[in-house]
Structure 1
Amino acid sequence: MFERLFPSRVPEPKPLPQPNAQLALGALLVRVAFADSNYRATEIGQIDRILSRTFNIGPIEAAKLRATAEALQRDAPETPEFARILREEVDYAHRLALGEAMWSVALADGHRHEKEEIQLLAIETALGLTDQDIEDLREKATRAR
């Protein structure tokens, strides 16, 4: 009887949107934060601030964008695909700024984690940043800490 009233259908998941520059950046920021297997509130807050500031959106829109990016990074393309989108749509100077923003997420919890640094290096390389710029970003981020 209850089965007729409440059929046990699992709702179909909503399809994920095609990645664009906003979602690609969000997914990479989330990927950095997840790299050490700890996704902390400080990292989430930092991601939301970066998305809000970068795309000139309010905090609620930034949180929605981050939530979509979380699902996308979990179920969608690998890092090189997200980086390709950003390389095609964002000039070098702004990609460099994105690298700096990613370091701020990695260090938001107050600790350096080898897995996050490995993930960052992969992302920075995929973004097409030079070795010297990558080293400068690391030095600047760790010095500011």
Structure 2
Amino acid sequence: MLDALRHFLNDLAGAGEEDHFAVDDYRVAAAALLISIVNIDGVVEDSEKAALHDVLKARFGLDEAQTAELIEAGRNREADAVDLYAFTSVLKRSLDEAGRAEMVEMMWEIVFADGSAHELEDNVVWRAAELLGVSSRERVDLKRRIAGRPGPLAVRPA
């Protein structure tokens, strides 16, 4: 009975039976959060698109079709969201401390895909890390590790 209702609602929403990612799947929340970082500075570089694809594929063990499907589900979720809490609440509920830190690491991988951190990207990672319960120290350590530099990093102005 519930499955029939779920299928009916999915059909109304335009979701096909081929969808592998539920709306509340933490991987969709992760993809949506990463997509919001890609889009935040108003310039979407090819390197950022490639990093998004590669990070999602590698971290979640997906094939090409699944990766494309996850990115599309993430885009849809990101387009419907009004704030970061829509993603971080799902991630915080679904991931342990190490998983949340890995999520911050994934965000930095997207930020540095084009070679530098834009101040808007930096701010989104800071806010998302706070919502995920990742400490400022760990966030900065992850940033330095991903950037590949031990010292302070330059942040591009808006």
Coarse TM-score class (shorter-chain normalised): 0.7 to 0.9
Distance 2:115 2:65 in 1: 25
| 2:55 matches 1:50 | yes
The structure that has the greater radius of gyration is: 1
Distance 1:77 1:50 in 2: 24
Distance 1:81 1:93 in 2: 20
CA RMSD of aligned residues (A): 2.0
Of the two structures, which has the highest relative contact order with CA contacts closer than 8 Å and spacing of 6 or more? 1
Aligned positions of 1:1-145 closer than 5 A: 14=14, 18-144=23-149
Q: Deviations over 1:96-138 (max 9, x none)?
A: 1111111010111122211111111111111110121112122
Distance 2:133 2:108 in 1: 16
Distance 2:96 2:123 in 1: 24
Q: Deviations over 1:61-108 (max 9, x none)?
A: 112211221121011352112111111111111211111111010111
Equivalent residues, number: 133
Distance 1:13 1:57 in 2: 25
Distance 1:131 1:106 in 2: 17
Equivalent pair of 1:19/1:82 in contact (CA under 8 Å):
no
Distance 1:92 1:140 in 2: 18
Task: Give TM-score, length-normalised by structure 1.
Answer: 0.82
Task: Give TM-score, length-normalised by structure 2.
Answer: 0.76
Deviation at 1:28, TM superposition (A): 0.4
Counterpart for residue 5 of structure 1: none
**Aligned letter for 1:47?**
L
Distance 2:75 2:113 in 1: 17
Distance 2:40 2:143 in 1: 17
The 3-state SS of whatever aligns with 1:139 is helix
Distance 2:70 2:23 in 1: 13
Equivalent pair of 1:83/1:126 in contact (CA under 8 Å):
yes
